[in-house]
Each structure stands twice: as C-alpha cells, then as structure tokens.
Structure 1
C-alpha cells in the first residue's frame, strides 16, 4: 500500500491552513493577551477560519489517544498518531526543520516542535515582532498553559486571577515556576490552581513556605509545618514531616493500579483528611484503603465509605466484593452498597452467584438466609407488630414493601432488632440512633440520622418533624421521599401546612430555605406544594409569574403538581390550565398519585396536566396501587401520556 501524500490529501490545506509551529506561536502570543486581530493579520486568516481549525490543532497534543482518533474519524481523517502525510503538511515551510526519528509518533514529534517554539516564538510571520511570550509550564490535562509577558503570568489571554476574577497581586513572573500539576511558587509564595465546574482560578496558599513546600499529588502539598489542600485549606501538623497521601488500589477502568496522584485522602501522624477536611475520630496510623475501587477505607476500629464511617459495619468481617457489583461489600450480618446497608431478604438472589462461586466462605448472612429459605414457610411464624410499619420475625426487623414486586416482606437488617422502638410515621430508635426507611426503597438502607436526638423526636404536622436540636422534612407518601435536615430557629419555627414552614429567618419549603421572598410572614399554605403571598401564588416556594385566571382566595393544592380554584381554573406546576368541562372543584380528590375523582367523573394526571377519563366508570372505580385504577377486570393506566386500558392481570 502506498503512503498517503500531500498531493492526494487536498483536504489538509483547508483543515490545517497553517504550519503547526506558526499556530503554536500564535497561541502563545494569544495566551499573554495580544489582540486577536494583530495575531490573525500576521497569519493571514480571519477569525472564522481560526475558530474552525484551532481545536483541531489543539487535539494533536494528544494525537495517540482514542478520543482524538475518534474526533478525527468524524471529519473523515485517519488516526493522526501515525499520519506521516499530515505531519509533513504541518511542518512544511515552518522554518524549523527538526530531524524526525523512527519509529514515527505524531505526539512525540509535535511535543519536540513545541519545545522549540516555546524557546523562541518569534518565528515565521512573527519573526519581526517585539512581543513577549515566555512559556513557563502547563498542566497536562486539561491543558492549561502558563506564559508570562515580563509583567504578568497569564493563562488563556489574561493574568491569573482569584475566584472573584481579581488578578493575583505581588506575583513575580520571572521566578514563577511549576512545582507539580496544580501547584506553583515564585521566590516568596506558593500558589494553587483551584477549579469549579464552570471556572478555574488561583490562590496564594496561606502561610506556605516555598523553600520547603513539596507537592504530594495534584490536590495535596506540604511544607515543614502543615499540609495543604487544593481548595486553599491549611492543615497544621502536630508532628512535622508526617503528612502523606493515602493511596488506594483501583482494579478497573482505564487506569488500574495504585492511585496516588488522584487521591483526595491524606493523613499525618494524628489526623486523617478527605477532600481537605478532617475525618473526625479516624485513627491515622491504621487508616488505609481496602478493596479495589478506591471508595472503602478502614482503620483499626471502623469501616468508612469515602469520608463517612459506616456505623453498622463489623470491622473484623467486612469484605469488599466488587466481583458482586460496583461498590458492593458485606460483613457477617448484611450486604452493603456504596457504604449503605441493604436488606438481606431483598439482596439474597443478587448475591447468590458470588457466594456460590466461593464455597470456602461460610457463616455469613447469605448462608443463614439460604438455610432459612430451605426450611420453608412451614417453620415461619407470622411477623409480630413492633409499632408503626415495623414487624418482627423474632430476630429481624421487617416492613411491608410499597412495591408488590419486592415481595411480602423486606428485612431491615441494619436495624438493631432488640433495641428498636417505633416513634412516629416511619421513624424509630435503636441503639445506633434515629432510624427510618424510604417507602418504595426499603431494600436500600439508610444510616442513622446525623445529629438527631431520638428521645425528643416528634411530628409537628404532616411531613414536618423536630427534636430539641433541629427540624426535619420527610414526606413518606411522596414518590421518591427524601429526608431533609433543617437548621431552623426552633423557638420561632412553625408549620404553615403542606410543604411550607417558616421561622424567624424566613420561609422554608420542602426543607429548603427560600431566599428572595418579599414577605415571608404573609405566606399562607394552600396545600401540598402550593401557597399564596397576598395575591401572588407560590409553587414550591417560587412565585408563579403567569397564574392565568386562578383565584388565590379560593385555590387549594390537591396534588404536589396541581392547584385548583372554585371555578376549576388550575395550575399544573407553575403553568396555568383552563377548567375541564363538568369538573367539580369542591369534590376533586386524588385516589392515588395519578388518578383523581370528583362527585361524577374520573381524571388522570398526564405530562401535560389533568385530563378527563370518560371511559372510567366513577361509581365502580377502585384504586390499584399508586399509578393505576381498575373497573372490574379492566385496568386503566397512563402510558406515554395517554390513559390506556389493559386486562387486570396484564403487567405494563
């Protein structure tokens, strides 16, 4: 096969109109803030053409990677790493003429070419300029290039700046250098490069000594007196010289092996840190990673999921088992996923292949559950009520699952059976603290509620609860209930109704404090997620800007998504809906999460709002779970935005 040549690759001149060296020199001058019009006029191309090709040139920084090969393939180009014709085109007439060793590598050769340009970017069309662009260093990925103009260290055309966009004062560009991927120093100070999902910024590492500062990885560094985290946290050491990274083994993905550079964990002789914050109570000398996924850790006393202790985990028998599934683990009493305990009864089948393939394992929760099932229902006594939704089979706490497909009972094996005491709703107390479960998600365990005082825990009204320390919002009837802890002023805390409460600090909706409410004292709950503030209607605490003809004085929330007034005008979420013919607002009530009825008709809530269901006989309709109804042997359910009929036994 003949090699590709420039002559039979005419598309190269259009896609790559500049020698690579000239493109890179232009990029360096752009990095220090030279006006684009000056740079482009010397290159002889306009802004649109530069924009079109700039990313394509930049991708060659990683020419040997699959993602770049894929990007080039989408433009009909061969993989660039071995494309010698492309390299010849990129280096033709660049005036540098570096030797090209074999075997050829685009990434290696362009890296060598960049070093030459960095040493002197005044080449080609820039040969006679007096512009200054001294290359300093770069972050590997994503590429963040540092260049100075004699006065400022710049990135992407502007001096490096703090989180507020203010350029760092007092930085010496002549002594500025890179210590590690995101750590830098000049003659007097140490600097770090922070980032959020939307911006990058820089900071002066507080109190860091540039002479003794050592980079430990891209997130942590240390000097003779303290450790430092990349969010500009200073972590003083009790014993100098003991600060180190907690590495972990990762056995999957593109980078299996011991991970140090990416680790968010560090420790000194007395404290352990995760994401720069101390893990209270962790034993530093014995703290280490376990498993092969970098999420579970252990010390001599406890097991941790990332930075959180797992109170239910048995330290001696805890075993990571990624073979059973991502982030799976178990101890002698129960399985875990992502650090949360899970139901033995619900997880038995999922874990069976794992334990069946490890006959050397004995005496675990799985083996006990297997024996219990083999004994059969004849030996099983009817569960005994323990209060509220909780039942006992003599040794385990059981609840009835909200979803029939989860079986008749789900065991809550992370609850302590002998000390369990029901309090209210789905809340209970055991020796670990305040407990609860999420209806519909019973098989997934929840850790004890942090900071709760179970002895004083009580319901205030509806989904609102409190103890002597804090308030809580938990709607156990919601499709996806979630507990929200509210740091409320308990002396002034009051529930308005539905999802609304307030204290001296303002309005609280579904457990979240709402800012920007003009007059929180004027808010009146209308039911569910709706309220009014004078003549202004609120949906989930947000003013409704286009309420249509809804009358706030007669409106009431009948569903978390629906409000209706005395004339039948409605809000579906925050959007107005006209009255349905024949609807009786006074008697409209929801039968379940989807279907509603008034005195004469049945309705369904679809993606677009409330619709009438004339095919459903109001006098014979019965609720069928949370999402369907039936009339005789016909089931009605909303599918793809429409009410559809099915035989009663048919699954949708």
Structure 2
C-alpha cells in the first residue's frame, strides 16, 4: 500500500506523499534503482513524479517558491508542512512552520532510507556526501558501485571509474578518496558536465583539500583540472581569497571556497598556473578582477599585468563610494595618474565628469589626475 493521497487544488487534485518518502525515493533513484522499481511503491506515474519532485526537492532551501505556488495553488508554507510531514513527522506545539526545517528530515533519511513504503525493501543504499556546490545532488553507493546523481562515476571521456565503494569518502569540496586513490571532480561545457579522475601521485595520508579548486599534500599541490603544481613549499601553499564588493549592502566579502588564486613562498598561482613576477606574501585580490602585490597590479579577468599602474595608489571604488561604470560595461578603476577600464588605461580628459562623484566623495585624495584637470 502506498502513502499517496490526492489534495484538491483549484478545479483538480495533485498527488501528495510524505516528505520523508520523497527523500527515500530520491535516494534510491540516485543509487541506481530504476523508476520502474521505485515509483510503483509510492503510487506515482512518471509525469506525476516529475512535477512533484520539482516542487518537493526545494523544500530544505530558500528557493522554489514559484514551484510551490504552482503545485499547491498558493497554499502557504504552514499548510504545506501540515500536509507533507505526517505520518512519521509532525510539528510540535510552538514550532514554526518553516519548510527549510525539512533538511533535518532529509538528513535522517540519508542515514536510513528504509522508511514508509521502503521499510521492507532490501535494496542496499548508503549515503556518502552531498556535493559541495550542486547541493541537490549527492554521492551514494550500493555496496559495489559509487553513484553521483544516479549514475556511476565516469571520466571525462565517459568511461566508468572503478572505485572502492566501502571506503569511498568526500575529503572536502570537490576532492574525494578511497583506500586506493585520491580523486578530483572536474567539470566542463556550458551544461557543466561532471567527471572524475585519479589525482596522480597524491599522498592520501597527507592530502588536504584547501577549497573547491586547490589541494595539497606533503609533497606538492593540485588544481582541480588535474594539474599538479610542483611547489617547493607545500606546507606554505594556501588559498588567497577573492574579494566580492557588494554595493547594495555595503559589504566586502572574502571568498575562500571558490577562489582560483593561491600562493606558496615562491609564487602566486591563478587557475593553477604561475603568475609571473608576482610577490606572494603581499599578493591580494582588491575586487572587480584586479589584484596587487604592492608593487604591480594585475587585471586577473584577462590574466594581464596592468602596464604602468601605480600600485601604491591603485583604487577600486568600493561599497559606500560612487561606482564608476565603463562606457561599454565593466567597472572603472583609477590610480593617481589615470583611470582604467578592463585593465586598459583611459584618456583622463574623457573621464572627468564620470569620476566627479567619486572624487567629490573622497576629499582625502589630493593631487590626482582628476584634480589637475577638473580645476
């Protein structure tokens, strides 16, 4: 007997199943079971599952409001909670009806998916880890094969990668390991096709994931594309945070997990490649694709040195300051001698009025190109 019910919405009905049953079905499907095996146990046809899944899967996140409104015809979150939590979960007196709290149910199902109509099911299914970025996807195994989002792990050419399922684990970010190897998870193409590869030469005993893109062990460092970085100081290899400037809320966020910049004692690396002549200990990202080591300035978005830039005065207008936009897009920056767009110097005479709000808001700056030209 399934746990499906049909809830009246508008002039029709939509199928409803308990949320933990949905998560269990999703986990079994992600571990190699077919729809022909799973859907009859929950009483749904393919089309019904597709619509329900597109709605239910967003419950633990702050997303998916439009799907909920379309599916439940405007039913509020409190009513949806009362509809999808029973029979094994219920709101307690005083609880706030917040669908995001279903993440606890999801985590419980990850630990034991044999619930509801799957309670007597003998299908082996072990949750390994959620993906660090694709948060609705996860790694699972059935005792023999490791799956990601329902498919066995494959290399860039689509060939299956054989891993030891029992010992397979997520190290951190996009780095994984079993008792034989360390693995990286790469991706390519507009549709972000995922693939996996063995990190050749990695020492599993000392391997450490630094963020989603960089890792190191006791001998060398690694970039997520499969590149080995022959660092002379692996113990000093570290990520340099990228800086995100938020003009709406006035904050500056250092982004560590997604940064493509790293350094050791000898060099700076950008996308895993050495940035020529950069001084590592003073190198920092200053926003909008620019970085400096205090002596030189780079426009990293184009992997180029900003010729003749004055690093001591080079300024990226930040939150709380007037933002100067390029004539054809992009952000404008400046130093004491000239403005720049996309890492290229501009004729100061043509940018006097564009920069007026910035310099009028910065009376602490004196004797710059703008002051000489604006009078």
TM-score over 0.5 (shorter chain): yes
SS at match of 2:58: helix
- Cα distance in structure 1, aligned partners of 2:339 and 2:97: 49
Residue 187 of structure 1: which of 179, 188, 192 is its match? 179
- Give the deviation of 1:72 after TM superposition: 3.0
Counterpart position of 1:52: 51
Answering whether residue 157 of structure 2 is matched by residue 164 of structure 1, we say: yes
SS at match of 1:350: helix
Q: Does 1:137 align with 2:133?
A: no
Question: Cα RMSD over matched residues?
Answer: 2.5
Separation in structure 1 between the aligned mates of residue 68 and residue 42 of structure 2, nearest angstrom: 24
Q: Quote the residue 1:126 is aligned against.
A: 118
Q: Which residue of 2 aligns with 1:232?
A: 226
State the match for 2:19 in structure 1. 20
Are 1:114 and 2:118 counterparts? no
Structure possessing the higher radius of gyration over alpha carbons: 1
Alignment-derived partner of residue 282 in structure 1? 278
* Offset at residue 357 of structure 1 (A): 2.3
1:237 aligns to what SS in structure 2? coil
Give yes or no for contact 2:155–2:197 (8 Å, CA) kept in 1: yes
Change (3 A) 1:102 1:188: farther
Tell me how far apart the structure 2 counterparts of residues 301 and 128 of structure 1 sit (CA, whole Å): 68
Cα distance in structure 2, aligned partners of 1:79 and 1:256: 38
Secondary structure of the 1:136 match is strand
Per-residue deviation, 1:88: 2.1
Distance 1:353 1:99, change over 3 A: closer
Q: Which residue of 2 aligns with 1:248?
A: 242
1:359 and 2:358 equivalent? no
Distance in 2, Cα, partners of 1:256 & 1:69: 29
Separation in 2 of the partners of 1:259 and 1:15?
42
Please list every run of 5 or more consecutive structure 1 residues that lacks an aligned counterpart in the other structure. 1-6, 372-652
- Cα 1:108–1:357 change in 2 (3 A) is closer
With normalisation by structure 1, the TM-score equals 0.51
Runs of 4+ in 1 over 6 A off after TM superposition: none
> Which SS does the other structure have where 2:16 is aligned?
coil
Q: In the alignment, is residue 329 of structure 1 matched against residue 323 of structure 2?
A: no
Please give the secondary structure, in 2, of the residue aligned with 1:352. helix
Sort the Cα spacing of 1:58 and 1:265 in 2 relative to 1 into closer, same or farther, 3 A: same
**Following the alignment from structure 1 to structure 2, what is the Cα–Cα distance between the partners of residues 285 and 265?**
13
Task: Sort the Cα spacing of 1:147 and 1:10 in 2 relative to 1 into closer, same or farther, 3 A.
Answer: same
Distance 1:336 1:248 in 2: 20
Greater share of residues in helix: 2
Q: What is the CA-CA distance between 1:55 and the residue it aligns to?
A: 1.0
> C-alpha separation between the residues in 1 aligned to 2:14 and 2:194?
30
Cα deviation digits, residues 9-47 of structure 1 (max 9, x gap): 733994452111111111111112112111111212111
Match of 1:10 in 2: 8
Aligned to 1:203: 197
Quickly say closer, same or farther: Cα 1:345–1:103, change in 2 above 3 A: farther
Q: Is the 8 A contact 2:298 2:305 kept in 1?
A: yes
- 1:267 corresponds to which residue? 263
The alpha carbon displacement at 1:89 in A equals 1.3
Partner of 1:570: none
Greater shift, 269-278 or 316-325, is seen at 316-325
